Amino acid sequence: MPVPSMADPPLPVHKPTGAPSQKSMTKAERRELQEKQRAAKQAAKQAQPQGGKPAGQPGKGQQQGAPAAPKLKPPQTPQKKVFVVEASGSRQHASGSRDAAGANAADAPSVPPGLRIFSHFGQPKVVGHVVKGDIHPEIVRLGLLFSEFKISGANARCIATLSAFKKVIQDYTTPPQNTLSRHLMTHLSPQISHLVAARPMSVTMGNAIRELKLAISNIDIDMVEQEAKNTLCQKIDNYIRDRIILAGAVIEQLAGTKIKDGDTVLTFGRSSVVEKMLLEERRKGKNVSVIIVDSKPLLEGKHLLKSLTSGENPIPCTYALLPALPTLLTEVSTVFLGAHSLFSNGAVYSRAGTAMVAMMAKVHNVPVVVCCETYKFSEGVMVDGFSKNELVPIPVIQRTAGEYNPPTNQNLETLNPLYDLTPPTYITAVVTEVGLIPPSSISSIPLALGKTSL
């Protein structure tokens, strides 16, 4: 299938096929695209002599697989991008798309393939994105960590963000003729957008930032600047301590009471709370065995497996991938899951694959327990995992899942959503720091806790 794309020499003339979608882009995006195209043209010129080589042995290069693939990849990936553009316009001009692809050859590694139907998920961000404006070095560093998925959990990202903001706040000076309570937020906004550009914001970060904004606006105008900054940092510390660390500890304790001696617990991927809870129960002397179910693309369960089986009190573990789930479920007493976020209809937004585990457990009558701090609650309602999601960038997949080659066939797209949504009917109980609650009662919690607690 990919052969024609190889055979056709690049004809940069048809490039404007990309134009219609440009209208729908924002200014920044348009400029970015222009810059890329310029760079692409230049690179295409350089690539020309090279381009002859793969064209000479097209079929062979495809079938060879892994070794040849990296070379073939550059011209392939951009085709997809153009393909999206085309899909929205006229689709018959297949050759046009191919030509445009050739023109864009150079920005290949940086622009991952677009998607025909799930284009609204947003393009996975380019690793090592550009810094625009006055961004604090700490935030730049954090942005890189985020975009490379070096920090990826909901809790970890929230703590990292808040800690970085503490530094930003300490390094901030209020400009003359301004007050901290009014100006600090305008200083923080670009920092936040930088982080969002690195990777879409998590619900936890959103909640924490909302609380921070509130705290900033509540700062007394007459307060000495340094004192105000210290107050804010203190409040951030309290938030991390109360809503994340201590909440986690309480959840571990509560969830631990649901594990009995000799139980087999099943978990999916890796959740920091579930991990600590299991280790703690083991330390208390309970005989637990754990089945870790894992799935591509991130294979985070491997880290969990490592931390559960190493250490002083190793837990007997079974590691399996998602397809093995039905076979294993017959031996399981309880399923424990972590969560990225919880919506007010009780739906759990968590790592892709969670919904399948929960549904399968429900069919087997195994109780499903979700561990989730109340600061992860979102006020919104979500009914499926398609309306909002995030894609895993290909470099991250390549790093975590080992050998991974993006498809070289232009009619084939891969979709790697990061999250999915588990409907509340598949969840037996949610463990929060205020107790075990049925998912139907989620909406009564934020009110009871008072959201103005940063």
Partner 1 sequence: MTTTFDIYDAYIDILQNDQFSPPLAAIKALTKLIQNSDAGTMFELVSALQKGAKDLSSRSSNPISLNAGCELFNAFVTLFPHDSHNFENLKQRLIDYGETYATEALTYREKIAELAFGFIKDGSVILTHSYSRVVMQTLLRAHKQKRISVFVTEARPRGLGIKTAETLTAAGVPCKVILDSAVAYVMDKVDFVLVGSEAVVESGGLVNAVGSNQIAIIARAANKPFYALAESYKFHRLFPLSQYDLPSHNTKFLSFSRPSLPEGPASIKSSNDESIIPSDTSTLSPKPDLDPPRITQEQISQSNPDVDYTRFVLYSSTATYSIILIFRTKSPRPDLISLVFSDVGSLTPEGVSQYLVGMFSG
Where does this chain bind partner 1 (CB under 8 A)?
258, 334, 367, 369, 425, 428-429, 434-438, 440-441, 443-445, 447-449
Query: Which CB atom, from 249 or from 322, has the smaller least distance to partner 1?
Result: 249
Question: Minimal distance in Å, beta carbon 295 to partner 1?
Answer: 25
Tell the smallest beta-carbon distance from residue 392 to partner 1 (Å).
Answer: 33
Which value, to the nearest 10 degrees, does the dihedral of the CA atoms of residues 39, 41, 43, 45 take?
Answer: -160
DSSP per residue over 241-278, as a string? IIIIIIHHHHHHHHHHTT--TT-EEEEES--HHHHHHH
Residues in contact with 77: Cβ distance below 8 Å, sequence separation at least 6, in sequence order: 108, 109, 111, 112, 113, 406
**Secondary structure (DSSP) of 20-55:** HHHHHS-HHHHHHHHHHHHHHHHHHHHHHHHHHHHH
The residue with tokens 């949610």 is 430
C-beta closer to partner 1: residue 169 or 259: 259
Q: Are strands 368-371 and 429-432 parallel, antiparallel or unpaired?
A: parallel
CB of 259 to partner 1, least distance (A): 10
Q: Taking the complex as a whole, how short is the minimal distance between the CB of residue 449 and partner 1, in angstroms?
A: 7
Beta carbon of residue 352, minimum distance to partner 1 (angstroms, whole number): 25
Least distance between partner 1 and beta carbon 450 (Å): 9
> Is the CB of 194 or the CB of 258 nearer to partner 1?
258
> What span, in angstroms and rounded, lies between the C-alpha atoms of 219 and 208?
17
User: Which tokens sit at 18?
Assistant: 């990309």
The amino acid at residue 417 is P
58 is written with which tokens? 């097209």
DSSP 403-454: S------TT-----BSEEEE-GGG-SEEEETTEEE-GGGGGGHHHHH-S---
Q: Which is nearer to partner 1, 247 or 305 (CB)?
A: 247
State which residue, 320 or 434, has the beta carbon closest to partner 1.
Answer: 434
Contact by Cβ (8 Å): 229, 355: no
- The CA-atom distances, in angstroms, between 321 and each of 29, 101, 268, 386 are 39, 37, 9, 23
| Spatial contact of 235 and 188, defined as CB atoms under 8 Å apart | no
Least Å distance, CB 374 to partner 1, is 9
In the complex with partner 1, the residue whose CB is nearer, 189 or 441, is 441
Output the smallest distance, CB 429 to partner 1, in A.
6
Nearer to partner 1, 218 or 425 (CB): 425
**Identity of the residue, 255 or 392, whose beta carbon is nearer to partner 1 in the bound complex:** 255
